Amino acid sequence: MIRREEPFHSRIETAEVEQQGPVRAVVKVTGKHQFADGGREWSPFTLRFYFYAQQDSIKIIHSFLYDGEAEQDFIKGLGISFEVPLQGELHNRHLRLAGDSGFFSESPKGLMTFRTNGKYQELYRRQTDGERIVFEPEEDAKFLELMDDLAVWDSYKLVQHTADSYTILKRTKEECCWIRSAAGGRAKGLVYVGGDNGGLSLGVRNFWQKSPSALEVHGLARDAAEVTAWFWSPDAPAMDLRHYDTVTHLKSSYEGFEELRSTPYGIGNTTELSLRCFGRTPDREILEALTKEKEAPSLLICRPERYYETRAAGVWSLVDRSTETKAALEDSLDAVFRFYEEEVEQRRWYGFWDYGDVMHSYDSVRHTWRYDIGGARLAEYGARAEPVAVDDVPAHGPGGRLPLRGSDDAAYERSRRVPHRRIHRTRIAAQCAALGPRAARKRASAWPACTGCITT
């Protein structure tokens, strides 16, 4: 098989103000990806920019659809880039990359030389903290001579290879190699680039969960740097959406219709980003707060009773522990929900196309989910009968399925970390409703017993 890489760039088709109000304005942009030299267009995308009153941050939602030929169209990289004007001397320009804990902090020209000591060691520490450093031409002449001999690091990138592994690399010039600078497990998905004139931070929500992803910076030594958030990193193997076999297995596996076959045509993926401008290099505490905010953005949520009364989220029920039977049923539902939540981490259900989904049926012989066979719907296993809160944050809190911040902070934060997009009504509820307390308790204890053998 002969493969070749072709660069595509976005071609904007429409741009409109989709919503305009006193608190929020939304700009919607649509387009397609086109050959760099013109010609073929494919893979339509939609961008929405959310602007909020009295806020200096911008939320961006990127969605794309795959409409290519799976046998020949492999996506090598998919991302969005921003240009950041830079001013000031190279040693007063700064880069920050959020790692597991803390930040990778460098300048295109650091103050660390083979002979850095004395007051210059303290200046080096202050530079790393983001402070502006000023030298006296005569007094610091010898040290400035050393700095002139330093390498200039123009490009950096953080590549999240898997849900448990990332690497940070840097290089001086395009014709030179990348130098491995650091490594870790789960990067927090935020980058900052700036100079004397300020800078820009860019955060990607669910960064490590949707690997392979990357943050890349070029041009730190130029008048403008290019910052790219890669939703699918070009350092990873190309996205392969071909079917797992050349024939259909309708009788033995859970597949579609023979005349249609499985096809990736029309599937899509959405990524949320946050953008913020600064007048100066921000402190680590500010950047750390931004990493937390992008993962769990502030939401306005009503009390569960309000949603129940309006029926805006459909037909569902509030938590009811008024009887022994109902309490046992609630315990059962909680156990099932926690089980699936924990399986996401244990089974590593992460990745660009996988994160947010759960598997359906279990193979007790291999002690694994039937990832290669298919199976029943999630409803067969008793998932929560809950509505979904704002911005797809699953609702799961005290007094109802929609938590209110402050009513139980721990439960509220747990609810925000759950990745599932939809929670369907369980059949167990219908089956247990007519049971007595003893039978309900027996049904409630069945799930934990089963999950014990699954998780060991």
Where is pLDDT greater, at 173 or 392?
173
**Cα three-residue angle 426-429-433, rounded to 5 degrees:** 165
Where is pLDDT greater, at 144 or 250?
144
Check pLDDT > 50 for residue 377. no
Q: How confident is the model at residue 192 (pLDDT cuts 50, 70, 90)?
A: very high
Instruction: Give me the pLDDT at residue 386, please.
Output: 39
Q: How confident is the model at residue 254 (pLDDT cuts 50, 70, 90)?
A: confident
CB count in 10 Å sphere of residue 185: 14
Q: How confident is the model at residue 422 (pLDDT cuts 50, 70, 90)?
A: very low
Highest mean pLDDT, choosing among 74-78, 262-266, 393-397, 425-429: 74-78
Check pLDDT > 50 for residue 258. yes
Least confident span in 15-29, 75-89, 394-408: 394-408
Check pLDDT > 80 for residue 360. no
Instruction: Give me the pLDDT at residue 5, please.
Output: 85
CB count in 10 Å sphere of residue 110: 18
Residue 271 CB partners (closer than 8 Å, separation 6+): 61, 62, 63, 204, 205, 206, 210, 229, 231
Quote the pTM value. Answer: 0.81
Check pLDDT > 60 for residue 439. no
**3-15 tens-digit pLDDT:** 788 889 999 999 9
**214-242 tens-digit pLDDT:** 999 999 999 999 999 999 999 999 999 99
Instruction: Give me the pLDDT at residue 337, please.
Output: 87
Separation CA 162–CA 169 (nearest Å): 16
Instruction: Give me the pLDDT at residue 300, please.
Output: 83
Instruction: Give me the pLDDT at residue 118, please.
Output: 86
**91-138 tens-digit pLDDT:** 999 999 999 989 999 999 999 988 888 889 999 999 999 999 999 999
Instruction: Give me the pLDDT at residue 424, please.
Output: 32
For residue 159, give both structure tokens.
Answer: 């590549």
**329-355 tens-digit pLDDT:** 999 999 988 988 899 999 999 999 999
Instruction: Give me the pLDDT at residue 253, please.
Output: 79
**E-only strand ranges, 77-125:** 78-85, 94-98, 103-106
Q: How confident is the model at residue 249 (pLDDT cuts 50, 70, 90)?
A: confident
Q: How confident is the model at residue 297 (pLDDT cuts 50, 70, 90)?
A: confident
When the pLDDT of each residue in the chain is averaged and rounded to a whole number, the result is 82
Q: How confident is the model at residue 370 (pLDDT cuts 50, 70, 90)?
A: confident
Instruction: Give me the pLDDT at residue 451, please.
Output: 31
What share of the chain has pLDDT > 90, as a percent?
A: 60
- Label residue 259 exposed, middle or buried (CB < 10 Å: 0-12, 13-18, 19+): exposed
Instruction: Give me the pLDDT at residue 313, please.
Output: 80
Highest mean pLDDT, choosing among 191-195, 393-397, 401-405: 191-195
Where is pLDDT greater, at 205 or 337?
205
Residue by residue, what is the 3-state secondary structure of 174-189?
Answer: CCCCCEEEEEECCCCC
